[in-house]
Amino acid sequence: MRGIAMPETRGYQMRELMRVNMSDLSIKMEPLPAKWARYGGRALTSALVFTEVPAMADALGAENKFVVAPGFLGGTNTPNGGRLSIGAKSPLTGGLKESNSGGQAAHALGKLGIAAVIVEGKAADASARYMLVIEADKSAKLVRVDAWAGMGNYALAEEIKATRPADDHFATITTGPAGEMGLKAAGVAVSDPKGYPNRFAGRGGMGAVMGTKGLKAIVVSDKGLSYVEHADKEAFSAAMKVFANALTTHPVSGQGLPTYGTNVLANIINEAGGYPTRNFSDGRFEGVENISGEKMREVTLERGGNVKHGCHTGCVIQCSRYWVDKDGAYVTKGMEYENVWSIGADCGIDDLDAIGLIDRECSDLGLDTIEMGATLAVYMDAGKIAFGDGAAALAAIKEIWAGTELGKTLGQGAEVTGNAFGVAHIPVVKHQALPAYDPRPIQGIGVTYATSTQGADHTAGYAITANVLAVGGSVDPLSPEGQAGLSQGLQIATGMLDAMGFCIFVAFPVLDIPEAFGAIVDMVSAHTGDTWDANALLAVGKETLTYERLFNQHAGFTPADDRLPAFFKTVPLPPHNVVFTVSDADLDSVFDFVPETAAGLGIS
């Protein structure tokens, strides 16, 4: 093992970068460049990848970098400010990727004053596995853990725990067998407050980047460390109270999500006719009641399970829960809306226990459940197994554990699987599977899917707000009018929220309650001790997207990549029997701010 010991530095002005070279096993600290002093989370991961990774690099090669960054407010007592960003060139999309997760790691890194961990190079011995251990005094070392090769995330969590002092307080970031295999659907698991490896930076193959570098785990101890201090503690406290009040009083973040979890959306989106069913062939699922958030709560309470907690310390929305079996034993995280939809309605499965077992299997393997649900759906559409057959779906996922040719195909995601089995309708953009909203009856989300730098990604610009929920105004979901502008504004705002480390669900009160956005401005100003305003905050969002957009252009992306698959524009979706009608010109207008922003940054 090799490592370094550095004195602890804390606070906004003294954040540092930790650079870990897997080729020579060196670790060093360096100052965060002044030009990125206002960046955290996604802004920092994207700026670093843009600056340091050649756009044409092999995503699974030594030139790519695996960047882990807490949000700008990570490590503070900001409500819902503990999200983690993981960035790299994506082996799935081929572009610049940021994948976002809850869990405890962001706060742990933030408390240490680590703005980002940059993992570069590649282990010289392909059979070697390493664990990066970062202690609470900021000393760091790489420990060789070859015996953990091929281990699932849950067993790995227990092995890591056994290496730590009994009184330690630590977070983990791990990759499962799928990442070690270099599968494009592989994600990264982050430990939750109880230590379960069930929070995921799932999208884009980030687990494959981590695993193929020879890095099996990152452990971050924050034992004995308090929250990072604010430049003006009283001003921060006052703004924080305003923000927390907005989160807990808004009907979505204060009532719907805490009561029913994210899966509260199942009945809502099904009623809207935009709940993709059996590989996007219908907008309503007849079995939705059996897999709804309401049903999940009912069953979980009957079994004595947990129905309300935060995925990280400091969450006041509390939309997470645990799914338990009929004996009350933990199975997996209480499946999120996206997980339930992808494994459920998209595959025609209406059994929560079957969905829970598949979700657990994916989590243990380290697979993105959105991508894998879509993959199973196209596999079913090919007639290889029947829609609705949960047992066969679980058996298919187990093929990935076994390393069979079928398993290797499925583990590369929906597009590879669909092409391998001759499926006509493959729901992907930039090679990444669409999430749980059909873009034909919800056209705003279709614009986000088509244009996002991330590939098809609902969180990149969550147009469901105005299209379905009447949050932040109302835009007719069936009309193309106004959708490009809606998506653009939301994508910029989301880039900012990801950079700050906020949960995406703070957007609901922020869009509806002016004081909530003002409170973010005031919190950031009070934290740093310098002057921020709304424009400064949104500039971070624009700059984040600009780094991503330019990287993708350098990687060969063209306007043709900002389009939905043709069947969304030609095949009407029941029950509304509509197609996607937003024009190409409107899609091409979404990133019209990039040239001016790039000029301001001095990049091209």
Report pLDDT digits (tens) over 186-200. 999 999 999 999 999
What tens digit of pLDDT does each residue of 495-511 get? 999 999 999 999 999 99
Mean pLDDT on 95-115: 97
35, 547 contact by CB (below 8 A): no
Q: Which two tokens stand for residue 172?
A: 């983990």
**Burial class of residue 434, CB neighbours in 10 A (0-12, 13-18, 19+):** buried
> How many residues are listed for the chain in this entry?
604
- Note if the bond before 575 is cis, omega within 30 degrees: yes
Mean pLDDT on 226-249: 97
Q: What is the pLDDT of residue 532?
A: 96
Q: How are the residues of the chain apportioned to helix, strand and coil, as percentages rounded to the nearest 5?
A: 45, 15, 40
Closest CA to 269 of 573, 602, 590, 587: 573
Q: Phi, psi (5° rounding) for residue 459?
A: -75, -15
Helix or strand or coil: residue 486?
helix
Mean pLDDT on 535-542: 98
Average pLDDT, the chain: 96
DSSP secondary structure, 194-218, as one string: TS-S-EEE-TTSHHHHHHHTTEEEE
Q: Name the pTM for this structure.
A: 0.96
- pLDDT higher than 70, residue 4: no
Residue 309 carries which DSSP code? B
**602 Ramachandran zone, left/alpha/beta (phi>0; psi -120 to 50):** left
Q: What is the pLDDT of residue 308?
A: 87
Give me the sheet containing 215-221, strands edge to edge: 2-4, 140-144, 130-134, 215-221, 170-174, 188-190, 199-201
3-state per-residue secondary structure call for 495-563: HHHHHHCCCHHHHHHHHHCHHHHHHHHHHHHHHHCCCCCHHHHHHHHHHHHHHHHHHHHHCCCCHHHCC
Residue 368 carries which DSSP code? -
Residues 499 and 197: their CA atoms lie apart, in Å, by 23
Q: What is the pLDDT of residue 14?
A: 83
Q: How confident is the model at residue 11 (pLDDT cuts 50, 70, 90)?
A: very low
Residues 25 and 13: their CA atoms lie apart, in Å, by 28
Percent of the chain with pLDDT over 70: 98
447, 483 contact by CB (below 8 A): yes
Mean pLDDT on 169-173: 98
Closest CA to 487 of 458, 510, 516: 458
- pLDDT higher than 70, residue 9: no
Token pair 């930039």 is found at 430
What tens digit of pLDDT does each residue of 417-462 get? 999 999 999 999 999 999 999 999 999 999 999 999 999 999 999 9
Q: 468-484: b or e for each residue (b if 16 or more CB lie within 10 Å)?
A: bbebbeebebeebebbb
Residues 15 and 313: their CA atoms lie apart, in Å, by 21
Residues 477 and 540: their CA atoms lie apart, in Å, by 29
What tens digit of pLDDT does each residue of 329-348 get? 999 998 999 999 999 999 99
DSSP secondary structure, 380-435, as one string: HHTTSS-TT-HHHHHHHHHHHHHT-HHHHHHTT-HHHHHHHTT-S---EETTEE--
Integer CA distances (angstroms), 302 to 243, 297, 331, in order: 34, 9, 15
Q: What is the pLDDT of residue 601?
A: 98
Residues 220 and 199: their CA atoms lie apart, in Å, by 16
Token pair 């599977």 is found at 433
- For the ranges 133-137, 332-336, 535-539, which has the lowest average pLDDT? 332-336
Q: What is the pLDDT of residue 7?
A: 30
Q: What is the pLDDT of residue 104?
A: 97
Residues 413 and 422: their CA atoms lie apart, in Å, by 14
Domains and CATH numbers, the chain: 2-221 (3.60.9.10), 266-437 (1.10.569.10), 439-512+533-604 (1.10.599.10)
Exposure on the CB side of residue 332, measured as CA atoms within 13 A: 25
What tens digit of pLDDT does each residue of 553-567 get? 999 999 999 999 999
Q: What is the pLDDT of residue 306?
A: 85
Q: Phi, psi (5° rounding) for residue 400?
A: -70, -45
Q: Which residues contact 383 (CB under 8 A, 6 or more apart)?
A: none
Q: Which two tokens stand for residue 234?
A: 């009283």
What tens digit of pLDDT does each residue of 459-479 get? 999 999 999 999 999 999 999
